[in-house]
Amino acid sequence: MNFRIIKYGTKLFFPFMFAYFGWMRKFSKNPSKYPLELRFKRVHELAIKVCKAFKMDIESSDFEKFKNDENCNHLIVSNHQATLDAALFLAVYKTPITFIAKKEAETTPFVGKCIKILDGEFLDRNDAKQALKTFMNVQRKLLDTNNKIDIIIFPEGGTNKDPENVHIKEFKAGAFRCALKTRCPIDVLACYGTFRAARQKYKTKRNPVEIEYITTFRFDDYKDETTETLSQKLHTLIGDRVQKFRDNEDKIRIEKLNKN
């Protein structure tokens, strides 16, 4: 039994109940009835409470440099360390974002409803037809300039089970097909530390979490790439930054936050 989740999760009982009966059920049942900005605002506020409850001390260096003020939607690419990555992104972003999530997340309490509320997509990796339909929906949303929302994809295809030793897993090249089809900008981000917040073996009282905006690739930057070469290029960019988090800055922040 994970007592860490129980300990931190109890702090979220009333916020989750208020959200569930106050807006989550009605927003997820028929999202299009409600303005996207309102839906995102509610989920954003809840995500901030989740991060605080799990003692996540977020350092978002260089993130303030990024602002999507263009009349187009972006594909956001990042590594994936824990389910709490979703809360991290939702807490840090100030403008609407959503996710391409694995099919199993659809039935995960609260998580599935929040993704539905934000017009997210669920990907069944074992069903080729369903996967194709999902990516067609993603392409349509990336091209929809009347609905300003950026879409996050984790190309590793799942969470990294050993982030302290394997800094980043191999990327699935197919994750970048929708970018090449739509010619959308690709925002490259890296994150580290969310895995500590919910795992029993870590005894830290406060959990340093890093998230950094690295760069944005415009279509001209990647138009001559294949899905495979683009995947490798972004894997190297994100992997190098994650390794720096892990090997240097992370140890310093753990000691600083938990010295008392």
Q: For the segment 190-228, what is each residue's pLDDT rounded down to a tens digit?
A: 999 998 887 777 777 788 899 999 999 999 999 999 999
Domain limits, the chain: 3-257
Mean pLDDT of 100-129: 90
What's residue 3's pLDDT?
A: 62
Neighbours of 177 (CB within 10 A): 16
Q: Write the pLDDT tens digit of every residue in 118-169.
A: 999 999 888 889 889 999 999 999 999 888 999 999 999 888 888 877 789 9
Q: Which residue has the tokens 């191999």?
A: 170
Q: Which residues pair with 99 in a beta bridge?
A: 152
pLDDT at residue number 127: 86
Residue 176: which pLDDT band, with cuts at 50, 70 and 90? very high
Alpha helices in 57-200 (DSSP H): 85-92, 111-117, 128-143, 177-182, 194-197
List C-alpha distances in Å: 233 to 58, 170, 171, 199, 228: 27, 12, 10, 31, 9
What pTM was computed for the model?
A: 0.91
pLDDT of 48 above 70:
yes
State the architecture of 3-257 in CATH terms.
3-Layer(aba) Sandwich (3.40)
Q: Could you tell me the pLDDT band of residue 187, with boundaries at 50, 70 and 90? A: very high
Distances (CA, A) of 227 to 212, 235, 237: 24, 12, 15
How many percent of the chain have pLDDT more than 90? 62
Mean pLDDT confidence for 82-86: 91
Query: How many C-alpha atoms does 89 have within 13 Å on its Cβ side?
Result: 28
Between CA 38 and CA 112 the distance in angstroms is: 18
Residue 59 binned pLDDT confidence (cut-offs 50, 70, 90): confident
